[in-house]
Chain A
Amino acid sequence: MISRAQRTPLSEWWWTVDRLLVGAILTLMLIGIVLLLAASPPVAIRLGIDPFHFVHKQALFLVPATVVMLGTSMLSPRAIRRLAMIVFFISLALVMATLVAGPEIKGAKRWLVLLGVNIQPSEFMKPAFVVLTAWAFSESGRRPEMPATMFAFAMLFTCIPLLILQPDFGQTVLLSVTWGALFFLAGLRWIWTLGFTGAAVAGIFGAYKFIPHVTSRLQRFLDPASGDTFQIDTSLESFMRGGWFGRGPGEGTVKRILPDSHTDFIYAVAAEEFGLILCLIILALFSFLVLRSLKHAMREQDAFARLAVSGLALLFGLQSAIAMAVSLYLMPSKGMTLPFVSYGGSSLISLALGMGMLIALTRKRPQARVDAEHAMPAFYAESAAR
């Protein structure tokens, strides 16, 4: 079928790509559609639109998403960097535009209507931001004359205020933590790592103290009796009701009262209708994707690819872990969609882009091997010196 004998771009891709990663992502997308069939009609009915509106839209978005993911995964690391640069600056401009021209939905300005399509530019910013940060940190080692570290700081301090202004607390945390982790991976001294962690803890404490919305979320987590924990209670209840095997497709009732059953709490809907076993399978898929990507990163010789793969895996892993943990009441309520499973066009394309980059960077590359050979003497020298 796809012969090793003939070198076409497709065959080259097929034989170098990590097919298991691609398979896991496609499986998640499939699960997402199935779960949306269960979770989204009640929401659509509440909004007074066609019950399968969200399913149709998500299915529609899966086509460009798959194209974007596979297309991106064929790119070379150099092309990935360029793509990230372009996407980053375009989305940065759009994020700024949302603050000026975006409609306010549920108290936040995150959306922009472009050519009749609702898009959330900050979603696209995430993978590009991670790739560029990884590039900056790796570059700081390769070309010490460039102010690469300063560039990384500049990016952080441009993006975070924009996200806070929206406001989007979830994305802010996601980006800051990923950025910090990349800095740490790049070899930040432990004392600084601890210092930044401390600053982050202080930041969260500050948010708790001074942002009323954050205060109430945290208080309700620490002391459920102090306020309305309706979403979390109902979410937990659906896990209890589902049991190991679930109540069966369409038999869920909790989804009718969960406001965000098709996005933030889709994991709970999965539990009620399809059971904890499916939840464990979903968890295993995420775990597989994250750990396998990190394993690739560990083996990777190229510094940029290693950092970028780690960063993208981290972004993906954090988001999925938070989404699952919140619906299981292991974390304070924080709206976070489950990657590839929850409804959301922008998020889907952005994830496809991010995972496409990850797949591209984890492909077996002859040049990586060449790089490694070049690097080899230095590596041996270092281990010899030890």
Chain B
Amino acid sequence: MELNADVIVVGSGISGAFAAHELVSQGLKVLMIDVGHDDAASRDTIPDLPFSDIIKDSILSRSIFLGQDNEAIGTRDTRVGAQLTPPRSFITRDTEKFLPYESKTFFPMQSLALGGLGAGWGAACFTFDADELHRCGIWQPDFNTFYSEATAIAGVSASNEEDTSDALDVDPQLLQPALDLDDNNQSILNRYKTLRLSARGPFTMGRIPLAILSRDREDGRRANPYFDMDFYSDARRSIFRPRYLVERMRAQPNFQYAGKQLAKTIHDGGEFAEIRTLNVETGEARAWRARKIILCASAINTARIVLASLGDLGSKVPLLANPYRYVVCLNWDTFGRSVADRRHSMAQLLGMYRPLDNPGDLMTFQMYSYRSLLLFKLVKELPLPPDLGFLFARTIVNSLSIVAVWHSADQSTLSHAAIGHCGRDSGVPSLEFSHAIEPARGKQMISREKHLRRFLRRLRLLPLKTVDTGPAGGIHYAGTLPSESQHFTAYTRSTGQVRAMPNVYVGDSSSWNFLPAKGLSFTLMANAIRIARHVAANMKANTQDVRTS
């Protein structure tokens, strides 16, 4: 039996990159199956200059900020995906064709890009506490060691002297110093500290931990230059992206990357596992074999592959997505003032709300400034004629604060996915989604957001508008192959192993039974290391057993 590798990893997103990296570093022969759309050519044309300089060149700025065909302007809603600027449009390329779905309520963002959705990740890092890991279905007493390893690989900047420092529970010696705040966010944090609001209620605030470098590293990645161009380019590689790991692994002799390959189904042959793929350019079908397969194709597509492979048509699997809204606020402290252009574009402050009667049931919020996404996007949302809207936007943009609010997500009978008919173009089975929030939970979220708006007003942030992005707007998905949930036909073991497929594992969030109100990406990294290490140990033990016998 000829095998293509010891382990096949499906997907190059955060989980795939970290799982593969762990296996490669253990000396195993690894094959990564991926479509891997990328836009290196466009990336290289963007100069390493501040937004305020690039914007002065009207020809250059047109191609970067609006796109060759005005694609940044578009007709689509700005509520979700505003961060998908023209240089990042490759992240969602071809997903309608190759990752079909049907739904009237749930419209997830999917990716076939090199780095997956991680290519546009906001870089906020959180660790799940023991209770949250337990609710996810991750049973591992020493899980924090995986967080430490992820910290060393990705590079994380954070301060351990914030009121919110418990959001990232890793050894402080592994961290780079926290990034600087811009004028807007510094004024908010100053006000929070002056009023000593942490001692007066359930809200805490501090600088947010980010996988963005504040200092140069020996591996060639450099500190963030505060150019406010992070939604367009990152010539210095200051923000961690999964493709950096993939590039590094491609220099290793025991790693092979198979691009343009869309994974469709898997078959567990007992002593090996086989995956069938479609070449998205040539349409050629192909099969690849390895002793083990780790699926890291995102919670939605990993479920698509497993359900299609099991022939499990019609039966429903759970669907988890963090409810996400954002509140547009005017910061009275900086209103009418000029502020320095020096800033990065990602979230700068983290807020946490722990209800006094149930401190474990967290709501979090992240604060962004607004500038490099341009004013015309604001004008679209204003109830004013365009020219007046533009004038209005120029008066408030220095003091705008976008407060992104996250709630936790649990399994619910109202939210599920199922496999449907095959897509006409690709032969890939379509998924059907249905999503709704339990009425009691919806009321609780509204009540908490009311508390939040009151808190924001005490910080002299005037909430102007709350925008509901819809149930998939948070772009955090999980739970489609739940852990140890035997009442579903498709589920996983706590080791990530898929039911009825002993050689197939899940390395992404498909197996999580809960999503805390925290970004999931950092835990995806740690969990992928955990799963890969288990697979490697399992393979080595089997090899030794064979030798012994």
Q: Does B bind A?
A: no
Chain A residues with CB under 8 Å of chain B are none
Chain B residues with CB under 8 Å of chain A are none
